[in-house]
Amino acid sequence: MTESTTGRLAVDVLVIGWGKGGKTLAATLAASGTRVALVEQFDTMHGGTCINIGCVPTKTLVHDAEQRREDDDPQQFWGRAVARRDTVVGAMREVNHAMLADLDTVTLIDGRARFVGERTVEVAGGEDLLVVTAPVVVVNTGAVPVRPDLPGAHLPRVHDSTSLQHVSPFPRSLAVIGAGPIGLEFAAMFAGYGAEVTVLNRRERLLPDEDDEVADEVAAVLEGEGIALWHSASATRIEEGATAASVIAQVGDAERRLEVEAVLLATGRRPATDGLGLEAAGVETDERGAIVVDDRLRTSADGVFAIGDVHGGAQHTYLSLDDFRIVLSQLTGDGARSTADRVAVPTTTFLTPPLAAVGLTEGEALAEGRDVLVAVQKVATIKAMPRPKAVGDPRGIVKLVVDARTDQLLGARLFHVDAQEVINLLALAMRTGTTATQLRDGIWTHPSSTEALNETLGKLAPPE
C-alpha cells in the first residue's frame, strides 16, 4: 500500500481498478468534494489497461512498424520501438497518477481488493491490510487474456498480448493462434517489423461476420504483406524445442506442424473477477465470470456498480468512458442515462491500413428485411480520394449500406488510410439522422480520406 496505512478507512465512493471509467469517475467526484478511494493491484497499471498494456502501447508499436524500411534490422528497429513505447507509457502513467494524487479528497491505495461484506472491501498490500467501507462501490477491474486449455500453452516461447510487447530477442517467426482483432493487429504489426507470421483461424474464412468483399480485401492485404492465413485451423498442442516452438494444428482434415520462434495466444479476454470475493457482497456473475448489471450498470448488490470490461460485452475504452457517464448520472444526476442510449458505436481494428466499422453489414440489413442500397469501391479506384495515394497506401475498400426508403446510413465498412477517423463522422451521421445524400454532397477538406463519401455515395444501387 503506497498511500494508506494499515487499519480502516471510510469514504463516500470506493473504486476498484484504475481503468478509464473508474479514474474519470474518481476525478470528477473528488473535484466536487466527494471523498474517494481508488484501489489498484499493480503500480504498473496506474491509469488502466488502455495506456499501460492495451490501446496506446500497441498502437505506438503499430505506428513504428509502419515506419520500418526494408533494410532496417528487425532486432534493432524492434528494440528502439519498444523503448519508445515504454517512454510513452511512462509519461502517460505519471500524468494519470498525478490527475488523482493531486486531489486532496482522493486516497490512492496499491493492493489486492477483496469484498468481505456488503460495500466492505479488504485490501492487502504486502504485509499491510486495510479495510475500506463506502456506501457506493464501483468495480472497474477490467479483463485479462484467456489462456486456453492447450498442452504447451505456458511454455516460455508462448505469449499473450501483454508479454509479446516486450519479447526479446525479436522473433523471426511468429504463430498467432486466433484471428480476432487482437490477433490480426499483432500479426500485421510483427510482419511490419520483419517477422514471418502465420495466423491460425478456426473459422472457414477471415472475418466471418463481415460481407465477403470486405473480408476478402482484408485477407488479400494481409497475405500481400507475407502473412500466411490457415483457415479451419485449430491448435492441438505446442511443443518446446531447442531453438523454436512447434505448433501442431488440425487444419481441415490434415495435421500440420509449424516451427516458430514465438507463439501468440490471441484467444480472447475474460472479465477479471477472480479473487474479488463478489459472493460476500451479494454480487452476481454469469458463466464467464462477468458481473451481471442492468442498463444502468447496477449490480445485484445495493450500492455496487460495475463499469468497463468487467461486466462483459464489447471491450472498448470509449465504452468504459460512457459507463462513467451512466454511473455519474446515477450518483449526481437524474439517473436517466443508460446503455440503451448507445447508438452506432464504431470500432477500429488497427491493421495497416485500419479497418473501421459501424452499424449493419449488407447481409445483416437484408436479414432484417430492409430495402437497401449499397455502394462498394476499391480505394485505388476512387478518383475523388487522393490522400491514400499521396501517402503511398491506396489499398483497401469502402462499403456503405443505406436504407432505400429513408436515405439513412445503416452501416459502413472502411478499410483505408484514416479509416479510424472517418468512421466517427459516419457514426455521428447515424446518430443525428444526417442522410446519405447530405454526406454525398458534403464539402470536405482536400486531400482527405473523407472525400471518398462524395464519390462512393454517388454509386448507391440495389444489391445484386
Residues that are catalytic: 446
Report the candidate in 269, 257, 267 with the shortest Cα–Cα distance to residue 177: 267
**How is residue 164 annotated by DSSP?**
G
Is 309 known as a binding-site position?
A: yes
Instruction: Work out whether strand 262-265 and strand 158-159 pair parallel, antiparallel, or are unpaired.
Output: parallel
Distance CA 5, CA 131 (A): 10
Q: What is the chain's length?
A: 464
Is 184 known as a binding-site position?
A: yes
CA 169-175-176 angle, 5° bins? 110
Q: Which residue has the cell 505506428?
A: 63
User: Residue 388's CB: how many other CB atoms inside 10 A?
Assistant: 22
Is 423 known as a binding-site position?
A: no
Burial class (CB in 10 A: 0-12, 13-18, 19+), 451: buried
For residue 323 the three cell numbers come to 459507463
Residue 459's alpha-carbon distances to 7, 327, 453, 462, in angstroms, are 68, 44, 10, 10
For residue 212 the three cell numbers come to 465477403
Burial letters 292-305, b for 16+ CB under 10 A, else e: ebeebbbbebeebb
Is 183 known as a binding-site position?
A: yes
CA atoms within 13 A on the CB side of 53: 19
Is 180 known as a binding-site position?
A: yes
**How is residue 171 annotated by DSSP?**
P
For residue 67 the three cell numbers come to 515506419
Residue type, 300: S
Distance CA 424, CA 415 (A): 14
Is 178 known as a binding-site position?
A: yes
Distance CA 147, CA 283 (A): 25
Task: Give 381-444 as a DSSP string.
Answer: G-TT--HHHHTT----EEEEEEETTT-BEEEEEEESTTHHHHHHHHHHHHHHT-BHHHHHT---
CA 285-291-296 angle, 5° bins? 130
Distance CA 37, CA 30 (A): 9
Distance CA 279, CA 300 (A): 11
Which residues are known binding-site members for NAD(+)? 178-185, 268
Which residues are known binding-site members for FAD? 59, 309
Which residues are known binding-site members? 59, 178-185, 268, 309
